[in-house]
Structure formats: C-alpha cells, structure tokens
Structure 1
Amino acid sequence: MTASPHHSIREDWLALTQEDVLAPGQPIFDCHHHLWDRAEGRYRAEELMADVGAGHDVRASLYVQCRTGYRTDGPEALRPVGEVEIVLDWTRGHDRFPVGIIAMADLQLGDGVRPVLEALAEAGQGRVKGIRNTTAWHADAAVRSNPNPPPDGLLRSDAFRAGAQAVAAEGLSLDVWAYQTQLDEVRALAEAVPELTVIVDHCGGPLGVGPHDRFDPDNFNAWRDALAPVAALPNTRVKIGGFGLCVFGWRYADAPAPPQSDTLAADWRPWVETCIDLFGPARAMFESNFPVDKGQVGYGALWNTFKRIAAPLTAEEQHALFWRSAARSYDIDEQIFSHDLGRIPS
C-alpha cells in the first residue's frame, strides 16, 4: 500500500481556530464519514463522537466504506463483510452513529454479487443502506485520492452495470466517487439503471491538481457542464463536501492556523451553489467527509461554512440540505431529525 493521499490530522493545529456555532438549532445528518485505525491515524467512535458532540445539532451519521476491517480469510468476495462487522463493534452503544452503513461489494461480480449483498445485509442488522466501490480514476498520477487507485473503466463495464442492477433489486442505493472527468460515465450508468438511486459523492469531483487549475474558469465550467447531465436524471443525488480532499486543490493545511468559516464560505460558494442549483435542495445533501477533510478544516467550522452558504435559502430548503434529502435517500427514520420541529411537513 502506498502512502496516504490525505492531509495529516493535527489536533493542536485545529485547536488554534475556534468559533461559535451558528444556527445551533439546525438538525444535521452527517451523511458521509469514515472510521479507521491505521498507521496514518485513528478515527473510531471516540473521535467521531468528540467531533459530532462539539456544538452542532448532529443527530445521526452515515458510515461510508473505506477498506476498514476486511476479513483476512475466507472467500475474497465476502471479505468486505468484515467492515460492517467491525464498524458495528466499534460503535456499539451509539445507535445513530452510524444510523446507516454504505458497504463494499465488488460490482465486477455482476449478478453474482447478490450473495455478497445478502451477507452484508445480515451482518448489518438493518443498517446497510447502500454500496460503494473504489471507482475514482485519472490518467495523471498527480490526481490521486486513494492509496490504491482502481483501474480505468470500472464504471463503464457491463459487469459493473449488472452489479448495479443487483444493488437496485436489493433496495439499496449506490454511492459513486468519481472525478469530473468521469461524470459522463456516471451519467451513462444512472441512465442505464433508472431504478437505482445513484448518489454522487463530493460534488462530482471538481479537480484542482495536476492538469486541472482550480482557478481556471474553463476548468470550473468543464466540471459544471459534466455534472449538469447527471443532475438532469431523476434518480441521481449529490453530496456537497469533500473540499478538504487533496485533489480539490485547496491548501489550507499549509497555513499557520486553520481557516474560519467565513473564509471557507467565500472559497467554496461557487461549487456549493452550483450543486444546489443543478440538483435542487431536495436532491442535495451536506456531508463532512471526516476524517479525510479533518486534515484541513475543523468540524465546527465546516458545518458553520455550510450554514453560511445556505443562509439565503428558505427554512425548508435548509432542512432538505442538512438532513431531509439524505434521510430520504437512505431510508432513515425522519423522526430522528424532525422531533420538536412540528412545522416541518412530512
């Protein structure tokens, strides 16, 4: 395994910037985070709960696969079941953290993935809500967000499409992490399997490294123009976040102190507002992508940033972005978030 492509987490550096929680009464569903215990660092239940308990009204979370805890023996196809098992073990006693799990099942198995999906569902005790594979690929070696990048072409393969159909048949969604250069492949997949809910991770992968200049309007337009046809399909959703990923090109980790939310809001607004405009609040959702993004931004500042950007929207639109869209996309009990908010329609 190669070195981590993510910025290292420095708690002492993060502590240099503190700010008050904005809109503390806004319920939040953190619909994208990971857990791991690796040489690069530990982020398990203790670390997650310290972040979600720091002031924002985070009521539940969704775990997304990241190669944690795979079984080391038995059939290769079933080894990712170990990830579900260890996450439930690590988070015992925290029923809503996570309230759901996005697991790994190799969709290159095609229709043969069904026994794996069944094993994941059994291990997950009702919490497995979807599947994600490692699919983000770029020809330039400078564009890497995974220490073990996949080969080119997975999203285009007939086997993957058959596997995606099996996911849909099991009533599960499919998270897809792909770069802006792959969005036409995402569109084709979502179009070919209309019964499948396809959730595009991290704003559809706008790039700012390698041959992609974050400040080049043509690069921004290329991302937006590739994302628009994906958004036009009714079975797609988008997660808004991931700005701490190295491939996005921001270098907050190089600064003497972490950025505050007013700076982040100014930086991120064009991408966030474009995602909201294309998908609409009912099909868009904010995410933390922790601990990956934690190398560049604190948890409190991150949610304050989204609150700043969403401030001009109606209360209903804000609820959609902060929890309702994710809850409905992943079939999570909305009462977790709407309790004591009787003015919100069901």
Structure 2
Amino acid sequence: MRVLDSHLHLWDPELLEYDWLEGPLAFRFADTELEHARLEHATTEKSVFVQAETVEDRFLDEVRWVTTMAEPLGIVGIVAGARLDRGSDTVAHLDGLAAEPLVVGVRHNLQGEPDGLAVSAAFVTGARDVAQRGWSFDACVRADQLPEIARLAGAIPELRMVLDHLGKPAVGTAAEPLAPTSEWVRDLDELARHPEVFCKLSGLPGEAAGDWDAGQLVPFLDAAADAFGPERLMWGSDWPVSVIGPAEEGDPHAPADGSPTYQYTARSRWADAVAAWAADRGHGVDAIMWANAESFYRTDARPTVFTDPAPRRRGILGWLRG
C-alpha cells in the first residue's frame, strides 16, 4: 500500500517558538522522531507538511526549516502558515512564500478565531489571492464553524479547499462512543455541495484524546464518504498531535500515574483503520491513501528540491533569519 500522508506536522521548540505546546507534545518532533513512526504497512510513504502554528513572524522560517528535511523524509509539499486578514501584509507574506518551491497551499488556523472572520472582507480578499496563485487552503475549524466555511467556499468557488479533521466532530471515546450529530452531518453535506472542497480523514483519534477504536469512528468516515464521495477524501495522520493518549499495552515508558503519553503505534493504527474501512466499503484504498491527496495538492507536478542539510541543527537560527 502506498501512502501520501496529507497532514503531517513537525516542530522543534529549540529552533522555533510555539505558544500552544504543552504536556507530551512539548518536545521535538522532527526528522529522527518521524523515522521511528513510519507506517508499518506502507510500501511507499510520502507526506505533506502542514504548518504547526509556530508564532506568526516565524511562518516563513518554518517553511525553510522543513525544506531542509524534505528530501530524506519524503515531504513532497508544504502547507504554509499565513494570516489572510492582514491586507498588504498578507500579500507581502504570500509573495515571500511564492519563492519557496515546496509550498502548495496555506493554512490560516481558524479553529480559535472569532465567528465571522472567515467571511470578512479582509479574509476573503486574502483567500482570493491564494486561489489566484494556484494554491489550496486548509480549513481547520470546529464543527460549529462549518457553515461559515461553506459561505467562504461560495464566495470563492475557484478556491481549492480541504476540510481538516472532518471539522472536528465530537466522537467520544472507545468506551463511550458518540454518534455523529444531525447538525454536523447537515453542515458537512452543505459544505460538500461545493465541488472544489475536499475532506481529510484525519484528526479523529485526537478528538478522542487518543482513546479510540476503529469501530467507534466508522460512522464518521461513512458520513464523510456520503457527503464528499470517496474521490474527495484523503487520509492524514495528524502526527504527532493525534498520537497522544492512554499508554499502549506493553509500553515500557508508560507514565506511572496513567497520564497521557506518546503512542508509538498510533500513526500506523490509524492508517490501517482507514485503509481497512475503505477496502470494506469498496471506496478505493489507493485513491484515499494516496491519489486524491496527490491530485489535490498537485504534488505530482512539483519539482524535486535538493537542499544542503548542514544547517539542520547547529547554527540554524542564524541561517533561517538570513
């Protein structure tokens, strides 16, 4: 099975600043750590890096840092951080990103933003500029924000957009699962009416706080397939955000107090769960695990980028600023 992970994060708090990292996530997750989290059943593995919400003035530095690791890690595209409501500053930032050959799209993380921002005049103008550059937009929103994203899609029908994490519905836990709500299904269906909007099968293990099983999440995958059709679905790991939870059985490093910890096999388990679901439903495993993401992000047309890996650790702060 070939896999193109449509939603991979990397970060290093020693090199870039992050205001949101805490607990088991407040450590380095980069090249070495990813090599230890490779997918067990993937014959070929590539990834699209999605911005990890470093502080705003380091968005471009983040792109440059990830580019240094792209070739050995199999990263074929970068979804860069961008604020789309900054007017001329947004244009200047997008111009800077245009010089980075691996950039395929941008993400303005909307899940913590006030209602109405995504359909404000400033944001729509910035998003329209993204579309004109041929890039895509990753929409990371809460379930209650789905109608707003549908309005954005209606305002800019030419904007290729992908919904991260199915809109973050409440899924419960393995022991106490929740069914999809009628409101979430309704709003997902409405968003899917826009043909340029895709959906990532990602993030649900994180919404379950790492306490999940495949059967619990199948109804949400089915709802996404019913709304978008399998041709607009793509798998994403949301690594390492979605691999934090109760210690896995046999973990010799499990915290004695039972607190959440890193789950070593969770990335592979999520890939296997979605692939098994797709096969069972006859949706086309290769499309969901590889081809749809390749087509959406246009990574098959990206040039090969070779970089000097020497600055990866020592002296990288000065190199990034340069």
TM interval, short-chain normalised: 0.7 to 0.9
Gaps of 5+ in 2: 14-21, 246-262, 303-322
Match of 1:35 in 2: 10
Match of 2:201 in 1: 240
Distance, in Å, in 1 between the alignment partners of 2:209 and 2:70 is 36
SS of the counterpart of 2:288?
Answer: helix
Amino acid at match of 1:81: L
Identity of aligned residues (%): 30
Within the alignment, does 1:224 sit opposite 2:191 as a pair? Answer: no
The normalised TM-score by structure 2 is 0.77
Q: Are the counterparts in 1 of residues 115 and 145 from structure 2 also a CA contact under 8 Å?
A: no
Q: Say how many residue pairs are matched.
A: 270
Match of 2:269 in 1: 301
Q: CA deviation at 1:114?
A: 2.4
Change over 3 Å in CA distance of 1:230–1:53 after alignment to 2: closer
Match of 1:87 in 2: 66
SS of the counterpart of 1:271?
Answer: helix
Amino acid at match of 1:269: V
Gaps of 5+ in 1: 1-25, 71-75, 137-148, 254-258, 336-346
Q: CA deviation at 1:207?
A: 2.5
Change over 3 Å in CA distance of 1:102–1:225 after alignment to 2: same
Q: CA deviation at 1:50?
A: 2.1
Q: CA deviation at 1:334?
A: 7.9
Distance, in Å, in 2 between the alignment partners of 1:172 and 1:63 is 14
Distance, in Å, in 2 between the alignment partners of 1:42 and 1:58 is 25
Q: Within 5 Å, which residues of 2 pair with 1:71-110?
A: 79-89=58-68, 91=69, 93-94=71-72, 97-110=74-87
SS of the counterpart of 1:311?
Answer: helix
SS of the counterpart of 2:78?
Answer: strand
Amino acid at match of 1:242: G
Q: Within 5 Å, which residues of 2 pair with 1:1-346?
A: 26-38=1-13, 40-52=26-38, 54-68=40-54, 79-89=58-68, 91=69, 93-94=71-72, 97-110=74-87, 113-122=90-99, 124=100, 126-136=101-111, 149-207=112-170, 215=178, 220-245=181-206, 248=207, 250-253=208-211, 264-296=213-245, 298-314=266-282, 317-333=284-300
Q: CA deviation at 1:133?
A: 0.7
Q: Are the counterparts in 2 of residues 52 and 58 from structure 1 also a CA contact under 8 Å?
A: no
Distance, in Å, in 1 between the alignment partners of 2:110 and 2:177 is 22
SS of the counterpart of 1:198?
Answer: strand
Q: Are the counterparts in 1 of residues 106 and 138 from structure 2 also a CA contact under 8 Å?
A: yes
Alpha-carbon deviations, 1:72-128, whole Å to 9, x = none? xxxx7x641111011123x1541x631100001210024652221121121x2x210
The normalised TM-score by structure 1 is 0.72
Change over 3 Å in CA distance of 1:252–1:103 after alignment to 2: closer
Alpha-carbon deviations, 1:294-345, whole Å to 9, x = none? 113512211111122112244x72211111111000001189xxxxxxxxxx
Q: CA deviation at 1:57?
A: 2.7
SS of the counterpart of 2:104?
Answer: strand
* 294-303 vs 162-171, which moves further: 294-303
Q: CA RMSD in A?
A: 2.4
Distance, in Å, in 2 between the alignment partners of 1:129 and 1:92 is 14
Q: Are the counterparts in 2 of residues 206 and 223 from structure 1 also a CA contact under 8 Å?
A: yes
Q: Are the counterparts in 2 of residues 111 and 163 from structure 1 also a CA contact under 8 Å?
A: no
Q: CA deviation at 1:240?
A: 0.7
Change over 3 Å in CA distance of 1:294–1:113 after alignment to 2: same
Distance, in Å, in 1 between the alignment partners of 2:275 and 2:98 is 35
Q: CA deviation at 1:41?
A: 1.4
Distance, in Å, in 2 between the alignment partners of 1:287 and 1:301 is 12
Distance, in Å, in 2 between the alignment partners of 1:57 and 1:240 is 20
Q: Are the counterparts in 2 of residues 179 and 204 from structure 1 also a CA contact under 8 Å?
A: yes
Distance, in Å, in 1 between the alignment partners of 2:53 and 2:81 is 8
